[in-house]
Chains A and B, each alone.
Chain A
Amino acid sequence: MALLEVEDLSVTFARRGQRTVHAVDGVSFSVDAGEVVGLVGESGCGKSVTSLAIMGLLPKQPGLAVGGKAVFDGTDLLQLDDRSRRDIRGRDIAMIFQDPLSSLNPVIPIGLQVTEVLTRHRGMKGAAAEKEAAELLDRVGIPDPRRRLKEYPHQLSGGMRQRALIAMAVACQPRLLIADEPTTALDVTIQAQILELLKGLVRDSDTALLMITHDLGVVAGMCDTVNVLYAGRVVETARRRPLFREPRHPYTVGLLGSVPRLDAGRGERLNAIPGSVRDVLPWPDGCAFAPRCERRVDACVGEPPALVLAHHGRSYRCVNPAPVAGYAPGDDVRAVVPTQAQPGSVPAQAVPDDPPTVPGLGPAPREEESA
């Protein structure tokens, strides 16, 4: 049993007089203890909404509906009442956000913003809490922590602010840390430092990390397993190496291809994916990526593509995936999960070869070199 199993998670926003928006549409993935899992996609694909739904932090509003399951250590987070959720948040599951400046309260000293977590979940108060807070700041690499505790967010640099937020997040040694684009608002040089810090923290404490990002560089440097999201659905899941070496879903191919390369000639155009995620078909009408897809075939429209469980525990949602060396087209397929089926309902015997990473279908192979 994985530490976190998200099954068929859906988030819809219904507005009177408007079509219901499916921000997240049947997303499933899992995070094992100590594992770093990536949730990758461009803006608007539903990755932040997914993380907020797991945390129960979606802004309460009429018309919001969250379905599916998010089982953390045997408890479905989505079924918990507000109180129990608050007990888990910050203690067992912590979160780091994108913009460190706006994520810190501007009128309260850093110290109180750290100690309030310690007070809430570890019952620490006064000098003891302050000492622990200073140690936390020290651990995340903030020099002169005693002085920093008394300072306000606007007196810290961007990198320091994010470090402070990380200190707050790891204050109770959570078992799962969700980082929602933690480096997007930072300078490139600082980005690397923050990623190193996160990596070190999760390695030392066996904390699992769910990394939400649009940055494939971050994925390449950090993640064990990667889930690629498009228009609210996971379109491809794989271990890191195979994903980068042989992407199957055309969207993943496009994402990798659109990374600017140093060895490209001057004046050469970047390989952008045409169109944007906004002008898509809704999933029920077919593959949402089809309008932008270079490998589009007739079968892409009409009904949404089924989830294909393929070789080496990979899976993708595509009827015409990119070819992969050593397999004839279709040879790599181990099973096909019908669109509406629950991932967990597919019997394990249906997967004869290597066990896939899809939730409910057994553990993923730990050694990614197997590819």
Chain B
Amino acid sequence: MFRFIVRRLLQLIPTLFGLSLLLFIWLRRLPGGPETAILGERGTPEMRAQIRRSMGLDEPILVQYGRFVRRLIRLDLGTSTSTKRSVVTEFLERFPGTVELSITAMVIAVGIGIPLGYLAARRRGRLLDHLSVGGSLIGICIPVFFLAFVLKAIFAENLGWFPSSGRQDPTLGATRITNFFVLDGLMTREWDAAADALWHLVLPGIALASIPLAIIVRITRASVLEVLNEDFVRTAEAKGLTERTVRGRHVLRNSMLPVVTSIGLQTGLLLSGAVLTETVFAFSGIGAFVAEAIGQRDYPVLMGFILIIAVVYVLVNLLVDLSYSFIDPRVRVR
């Protein structure tokens, strides 16, 4: 098990190098550069050249890449060309917000999706089944930003049940340690700060959960239906086991494999796809920052972001593989 984890983490290194090289070249090929973003259309060629030189963009691309890699080894992602701050600092400040939001969304999606999908399968063809299948179709179809707007308008602005923007009430003056606001509140025992941060996560969390929730409902339902027809479920029934034992021990566990896979994939998507939700709720996560960085041709920020997402994907998939081996002894890892 330990060797498996180490091997998978070592595999991460060549993956990241390959990915970064590809991206490095590809980003540089995009029309326009940071000088255009800074100067606009009116800059003279001399001014452009000067900015490029000051950023080291006039050197051969492989030289630039070499410098990037040398810095990367020291965990230095360079300086943002638009904010002039270290990319690592920017990320440490913003990424925790997105992670908190994604975890909230995933907890909602899994917590509702698996039971709902399971019940839909058990009540196949009845009202609950139709409602959840239809509802999940709607969940997939509704654009996340639209749902975010609607939730915000109703529950924040109209009813006032939830805050309409931000990650925490700044007047609380909460202490920052990790920049995971909920975690910080728990660590410093500032319970009101933790609760407030959690409260801020509810609406954007629901909006962001809509698509993974819909997908998990459907996958769970299909998987449970398939397992219900398996011979070993019939064997369990033939043993006279109570319905509870049959469902819990024999059906549910066997139907979890595809669900776990999709949870892994969805988590990666959430981390990289929270942009719209973050924008609607003025939630200072990584999404809005990166969206802006694209417009600014902020190469260091973009490179850093993509690399982090790649690492997250690999880690999440590692977790998925590890959880497989707990669910199914046939895929025990070596």
Contacts and interface: CB of A to CB of B under 8 A. Distances in A.
Q: Do A and B bind each other?
A: yes
Interface of A: 55, 57, 59, 62, 82, 85-91, 94-95, 97, 99, 102-109, 112, 116-117, 120-121, 152, 154, 165, 168
A88 B328 contact: no
A107 B254 contact: yes
Contacts of A117: 239-241
A86 B241 contact: yes
Given A107-B254, A120-B242, A99 B330 contact: no
B190 interface: no
B231 A120 contact: no
B238 A106 contact: no
A108 B227 CA distance: 14
A152 B328 CA distance: 10
B328 A107 contact: yes
A90 B238 contact: yes
B240 A57 contact: no
A104 B329 CA distance: 13
22 contacts: A59-B229, A86-B240, A89-B237, A90-B239, A90-B241, A95-B238, A97-B231, A97-B235, A103-B232, A105-B236, A105-B249, A105-B254, A106-B329, A106-B330, A107-B254, A107-B330, A116-B249, A117-B240, A120-B241, A152-B329, A154-B330, A165-B235
Contacts of A120: 239-242, 245
A89 B234 CA distance: 12
Nearest to B327: A107
B241 A57 contact: no
B250 interface: yes
Given A103-B231, A106-B232, A107-B253, A88 B239 contact: no
B230 interface: yes
Interface residues of B, number: 24
Interface string B246-276: 0001100110000000000000000000000
B238 A116 contact: no
A63 to B, nearest CB: 12
A120 B239 CA distance: 9
A125 to B, nearest CB: 14
Interface string B187-226: 0000000000000000000000000000000000000000
A99 B239 contact: no
A57 B232 CA distance: 12
Contacts of A152: 329-330
Contact of B234 (A57, A94, A106): A57
Given A109-B329, A117-B241, A120-B242, 13 more contacts: A91-B240, A97-B231, A97-B234, A103-B235, A105-B232, A105-B254, A106-B232, A106-B254, A106-B330, A116-B241, A117-B240, A120-B245, A121-B240
**Contact residues of B: prevailing secondary structure:** helix
Interface string B151-172: 0000000000000000000000
A50 to B, nearest CB: 15
A89 B330 contact: no
Contacts of A121: 240
A99 to B, nearest CB: 6
Contacts of B238: 55, 57, 89-90, 94-95, 97
A154 B238 CA distance: 21
Contacts of B230: 102
Nearest to B250: A105
Contacts of A62: 125
A94 B234 CA distance: 12
Contacts of B327: 107
A278 B328 CA distance: 40
Contacts of B330: 106-107, 152, 154
A89 B229 CA distance: 19
B240 A104 contact: no
Question: Nearest 7 A-B pairs (CB), nearest first?
Answer: A90-B240, A89-B240, A90-B239, A102-B231, A105-B232, A95-B238, A103-B231
Interface in B54-104: none
B185 to A, nearest CB: 39
B167 to A, nearest CB: 41
B229 to A, nearest CB: 7
Nearest to B257: A107
A108 B241 contact: no
A99 B231 contact: yes
B327 to A, nearest CB: 6
A116 B239 contact: yes
Contact of A57 (B229, B237, B243, B253): B237
B239 A154 contact: no
Counting chain B CB atoms within 10 Å of each CB, the highest count among A91, A105, A120 belongs to A105
Contacts of A165: 235
Counting chain B CB atoms within 10 Å of each CB, the highest count among A57, A86, A107, A121 belongs to A107
A105 B330 CA distance: 12
A345 B232 CA distance: 40
B123 to A, nearest CB: 12
B231 A89 contact: no
A104 B232 contact: yes
B235 A104 contact: yes
Contacts of B231: 97, 99, 102-103
Contact of A106 (B237, B240, B328): B328
